[in-house]
Chain A
Amino acid sequence: MVGQGAREITINRNGSPGFLGWVVGAMVYVAVLSAAGALFAQSVSQRWASSLTGVVTIQVLAAEQPVDAENTITRLGAVLEILRATPGIGHLSILDRKSSLALLQPWLGQELVEKIDLPTMIDLRILGSATLDLDGLRQRLQRRTPGTIVDDHGLWLSRVAALTAAVERGGWLIVLLVGVVAAVSVIFAVLSGLWVNREIVELLHLMGARDGYVAGRFQGYVLAVALPASVIGGSFAIATVMAIAGALHNPGGGLGSGLKFGGLGGLRTLDWVILCAVPFVFAALTLITARVAALVTLRRMV
């Protein structure tokens, strides 16, 4: 594609990367950062969803109170009875009032903690989401022990999913917009290049050059500018992403360490491959745009 030997077309005679180089470099920088944001949102939402799906939490209020007149069975006992009779539950662990209090005590203090009527929490691990009839379980518990809450974290997860999906869509939208800006810049560079070089273009035509040959000269020029600019912009962006990822991963960092982002800020290997590909996709985009812009314009020129 890039002509061997001579370069008939030059858009900047002084050899500086000029307007086009700066624009492409900056656009690639923004595009890689946005793509990283989108991939990060996607990866985090998947990670959190997978750690919470399959988990159901049951809150039993006033667990020690009896459910019947004979005083033979507590509310907690009744709940456990129902749970044992329910198919699809793998593992069950009870966080009783005492352990809950122990967890809260450092925050609230002994006196306050003793006054709180804490519910007993039961954590259920479900054997595959299809096997457990959650609604049926809710109804049965409600009948036997009114006020028992079954929380499958669905509401919270759906909100997290909506948020991360919005971040993800926004990120890709920015990548798209930035791509359009880069393409428009290339179109302007080619149009001004055709104007500045119109005598050379006419000369090439007189020597029998087809439009494809002339367009190839512009492609060669644009690629020579856009490829290094993309690589430089992309390298800066990836360095930025790595710095942010490192900060999130830092074990000493308060909130970041508590939330599970995973290694390198939660980005997976495939995500890094995609990020590294973005500059080259941009370079290819500028190349195709340059060719189309040159061909369309040349056809309109005499």
Chain B
Amino acid sequence: MVRFEDVEMRYAVGSPILRGANFELAPNTFHFLTGKSGAGKSSLLRMIYLALLPSRGRVTVFDRDTKDLTRAEISDTRRRLGIVSQGFRLIEHLSARENVALPLRIAGTREAVIRRHVPELLDWVGLSDQIDALPQTLSGGQQQRVAIARAVIARPALLLADEPTGNVDDRIAFRLLYLFEELHRTGTTVVVATHNDALCGEFQHSRLHISSGRLSRIPGKIPETGTPCRALPGAPDLARD
């Protein structure tokens, strides 16, 4: 699904953020990405979601070298990804419903399908009472759940979450992680970047750890491949191309 081969990442100044990174993310696996702030977790995620090309080496996403993708192919590849960022990045003047609907609108999904699925997803993240609320009227945890609903509504094959629990307390962080686990059990590959060791301790998944530009892999206690147990609400007719 994602493969890094001898990847080096450096910005214009300073030493490389990442050196000699080699790893592969198999389908339907769950990974934490850990390391101190500024260790390069976000840069690594950005290379996966095609916002950044490696300085050296090769990054392959869905069997395509990211260097070879055209602008249109980048867009099409991103439709198969779900991205949850630390700052939520909700559009302030749109309601929760409209924010969650965006990926479907972009994919050209029929309005009738959108009208059915968006409330289901908001219900799944526990926000069925806040469907028409504007983001600024929601708490941090609620906004993050809207962002998660938006990231998963188009049924991505790979979910990338960058510090999804950075702005919420531990109790809410755990609840968010349960959502990710539930998604993982339905067959999605999940990568959660975090510096919250308590989370990694509680959810014993495999870890990719970045320290001083070096990436190491720490196997988890839970087998990497889960078994799909419960389908997400709706979904089958959202099949991607």
A47 part of interface (Cβ distance < 8 Å) = no
**A206 with B98, Cβ < 8 A, contacts A5-B111, A8-B91, A299-B71 known:** no
B89 & A199 in contact (Cβ 8 Å cutoff) = yes
Q: Are A5 and B75 in contact (CB under 8 A)?
A: no
Contact of A207 with B106 in the complex, beta carbons under 8 Å: yes
A10 to B111, CA, bound (A): 22
- Interface contact A208-B79, CB-CB below 8 Å: yes
Tell me, yes or no, whether A177 is within 8 Å of chain B by CB.
no
The reply to whether B98 and A5 contact each other, CB–CB distance below 8 Å, is yes
Contact B51 A206 (CB under 8 A): yes
Q: Are B91 and A203 in contact (CB under 8 A)?
A: yes
**Given A6-B101, A299-B71, A208:B91 Cβ within 8 A:** no
- Residue B83 CB within 8 A of the other chain: yes
For B, the interface residue count at a CB cutoff of 8 angstroms equals 26
Does the CB pair A6–B106 fall under 8 Å?
Answer: no
A204-B102, A206-B49 known; A10+B93 contact, CB < 8 A: yes
Any B CB within 8 A of the CB of A162: no
Q: Roughly how many angstroms separate A276 CA and B97 CA in the complex, as a whole number?
A: 41
Assess whether A211 is interfacial by the CB under 8 Å rule. yes
Q: Which B residues touch A8, using CB under 8 A?
A: 91, 94, 102
Cβ of A211: which chain B residues have Cβ within 8 Å of it?
71
Within 8 A of B (CB), among A199-235: 199-200, 203-211, 213
- Contact check, B101 vs A209: say whether CB atoms are below 8 A apart: no
CA distance A211 to B72 in the complex (A): 8
Report yes or no: B94 in contact with A213, Cβ–Cβ below 8 A. Answer: no
State how many angstroms separate the Cβ of A73 from the closest Cβ of chain B.
93
Is there a chain B Cβ closer than 8 Å to A3's Cβ?
yes
B78 touches A5 (CB 8 A): no
B107 at the interface (CB under 8 A from A): yes
Residues in A with CB closer than 8 Å to B103 are: 207-208
Contacts of A199 in B (CB 8 A): 89
B111 x A6 contact (CB < 8 A): no
- Whether a CB of chain B sits under 8 angstroms from the CB of A13 is yes
A207 with B78: CB separation less than 8 A: yes
Residues of A close to B75: CB separation below 8 A: 205, 208-210
A5 x B105 contact (CB < 8 A): yes
B84 to chain A, nearest CB (A): 11
Chain A hits for B89, CB < 8 A: 199, 203
Contacts of A209 in B (CB 8 A): 75, 106
CB within 8 Å for A6 and B49 given contacts A203-B91, A206-B78, A208-B107? no
**CA A3 – CA B114 in complex, angstroms?**
14
**Chain A contacts with B in 5-24, Cβ cutoff 8 A:** 5-6, 8, 10, 13
The reply to whether A6 and B78 contact each other, CB–CB distance below 8 Å, is no
Those of B65-117 within 8 Å (CB) of chain A = 71-72, 75-81, 83, 89, 91, 93-94, 98, 101-103, 105-107, 111, 114
- Which of A3, A203, A206 gathers most chain B CB within 10 Å? A206
Closest chain B CB from A217 CB (angstroms): 10
Q: Which of B111-148 contact A (CB under 8 A)?
A: 111, 114
State the Cβ distance, B54 to closest chain A Cβ, in Å: 16
Chain A residues with CB under 8 Å of B80's CB are: 208
Q: A4: CB under 8 A from chain B? A: yes
User: Which of the listed residues A3, A13, A209, A213 has the most CB atoms from chain B within 10 Å of its own CB?
Assistant: A209
Q: Give A74 to B80 CA distance when docked, in angstroms.
A: 104
- Within the complex, what minimum Cβ distance (angstroms) separates B167 from chain A? 17
Is the CB–CB distance between A210 and B111 below 8 Å?
A: no
Q: Which of B51, B77, B89, B102 neighbours the largest number of chain A CB atoms within 10 Å of its CB? A: B102
A3 touches B76 (CB 8 A): no
Kindly list chain B residues whose C-beta atoms are within 8 Å of the C-beta of A207.
78-79, 83, 102-103, 106, 150
Q: Could you list some 6 contacts between A and B, CB below 8 A?
A: A206-B83, A207-B103, A208-B79, A208-B106, A209-B106, A210-B72
On B, residues with C-beta under 8 Å from A are: 49, 51, 71-72, 75-81, 83, 89, 91, 93-94, 98, 101-103, 105-107, 111, 114, 150
**5 A-B pairs closest in CB distance:** A208-B79, A6-B98, A208-B78, A210-B75, A209-B106
